[in-house]
Copies of this chain bind each other. A is one copy, B any other.
Amino acid sequence: MLSIVSSTGDKANFRIRNTETAHSQVNLVAQLERGLIRNFGAKEHVFVTGDPQANVYRVAEGVICLYKLAPGGKRQIVRFCFKGDIFGLGAGGDHALSAQTLHGARVRYVAASILTQLATVHPRLGTEIYRTLAEELAALQEHLFIVGQRTAIERVANFLVSLSQRNAEQGEDPLVLALPMTRLDIGDYLGLTLETVSRTLTKLRLKGVVDFHQGSQIALLDMGKLEELADVQ
């Protein structure tokens, strides 16, 4: 829970209760790892568009998708957040996006106000939050590029490569992906229809680049070819 931080952001109090030095302790991930935890079932919302940006979240388990919805029913998934990802950062107004689980998730969170307070005492925390936001921005720019300029096969290949890289970072097998999202989710993320995603994956299977049977698990057979198709730079 948040017991390591008094409601007034008392620095001395904080130090006493921790074995590590304050310097190594006051960082964003550490704060979030000590935050409250909450379990969500399938398709549950962590927050929706218009909710105040009260908390900063970190995925402990499962996947969260951040999306924007249009009146016409069109949905743009802006980001998939996997284990370890931080989301909910913002200027402090209302959320422009909704955050929803796929099959369910465990999420840790800390009140944004507490982080703000802490950051005034520990500038490094502020810097870290800032860097996290800047990385989110850079990733989104890259994603815009893919959605705006690339063909279906390039988008899908790129998506698979991204998942593979993430797996590698997490120490999991980079050649076997457990797609936790539906074809519709992938489509709404890549700016394609679910049929096009399905067809494109089939194309990749026929090319011998990937293999899959139940659709939720994909083996990357030819990573070189896949990266060539993804062709991102």
- Which residues of chain A have a CB within 8 Å of any CB of chain B? 68, 70-72, 74-76, 78, 89-92, 96-97, 116, 119-120, 123, 126-127, 129-131, 133-138, 140-145, 147-150, 190-191, 231-233
Contact = CB atoms under 8 A, between A and B. Distances in A.
A71 B145 contact: no
Contact of A90 (B90, B92, B134, B191): B134
Contacts of A120: 123
Stoichiometry, copies per complex:
2
A126 B90 CA distance: 14
Contact of A144 (B123, B127, B133, B144): B144
A70 B145 contact: yes
A191 B140 contact: no
Given A71-B233, A90-B138, A140-B144, 7 more contacts: A68-B145, A71-B231, A91-B131, A92-B134, A116-B127, A140-B141, A147-B147
B90 A148 contact: no
Nearest to A49: B233
A131 B145 CA distance: 24
A141 B71 contact: no
A138 B91 contact: yes
B71 A147 contact: no
Contact of A70 (B89, B96, B136, B149): B149
Contacts of A71: 231, 233
B145 A143 contact: no
A191 B144 CA distance: 9
Nearest to A66: B141
Those 3 A-B pairs whose CB atoms lie nearest each other, nearest first: A148-B191, A91-B134, A76-B145
